[in-house]
Chains A and B, each alone.
Chain A
Amino acid sequence: MIACNCVVQANQISTETEASLRVQLSEFAERRFHAPAAINWIAIPEGSGFTAGKPSTSSVVSMQAPEPLSRTEREPLLRELCEIWARETNSSLNEVVGVISDPPTQ
């Protein structure tokens, strides 16, 4: 399984959009990492998210790759991941933080 954490501002993403995102993120994980995503959805309560000290509309989507990636491998994956998020949520890339991490070193 590919660990996937989604941190969103509560009430900014509808139930339908969340469901669609879960499908799209799972398909991304299957397509790029050949394993299903284990999605952990964290909704930050209203009035509890800030960017630059002001109320935030930002979301964070992070995945852990199954093996270490080079920069040239990682960048297009990050772009694809963030574009999926922006498209599905009808938000701009300014509101999306994407992270693709390497697995922990043993």
Chain B
Amino acid sequence: MPLYMCNAARGVIQDAAKAKIAADITRIHCAVTGAPEQFVHAFFAEESPAQPLNDKSAVLFGSIRAGRTDADKAEIKSKMRASIHSHTGIALDKIDVLTADVPASWVLEGGEIMPEPGEEAAWLARHSSGERK
């Protein structure tokens, strides 16, 4: 966690672009939140019924740890939308980026419950060097 799931119309995001967007997602999320990159997941699907496109060509849905500020979330959404646009050429108004807050205590990753906001120090110290259980 975070888990960013990108659903797109068939063929609009090429494999090479996926790698670049995933790198941007990771960089942007970590820069804004301070999270370690090893927990940032970016998955891409096409025409997934689980994540309707409606009138969009690409929808990125991020399940992120609860406790981020509205300003942080706005920055994440704006920058990730720009990344998808720049690597695919999809018009900005055909790209949607959404986030949902997930309480950290609902998630077990790397063998540990994710830390709550304000409790990151020890967890970051363990994980910033890549240590995972």
> What residues of B have a CB within 8 angstroms of the CB of A75 in the complex?
105, 108, 113
Interface: A101 (CB within 8 A): yes
- Stretch in A12-20, A21-29, A30-38, A44-52 touching the partner: A44-52
**CB distance A78 to B108 under 8 Å?**
yes
Q: Write out, one digit per residue, whether chain B residues 1-20 have a CB within 8 A of any chain A CB (1) or not (0).
A: 10101000000000100110
- The size of the chain B interface, using a CB distance under 8 A, is 34
> What residues of B have a CB within 8 angstroms of the CB of A7 in the complex?
3, 5, 43
> What residues of A have a CB within 8 angstroms of the CB of B113 in the complex?
71, 75, 78
Chain A interface (Cβ within 8 Å of chain B)?
5, 7, 40, 42, 44-45, 47-53, 56, 58, 60, 71, 74-75, 78-79, 81-82, 93-94, 96-102
Task: Supply 16 further A-B pairs (C-beta < 8 A) apart from A45-B46, A50-B25, A78-B108.
Answer: A42-B45, A42-B48, A42-B50, A48-B43, A48-B44, A48-B45, A49-B41, A50-B22, A79-B108, A93-B110, A93-B132, A93-B133, A96-B108, A97-B41, A97-B109, A101-B106
A-B contact pairs, 6 of them (CB 8 A): A42-B50, A44-B43, A51-B40, A52-B40, A97-B108, A101-B102
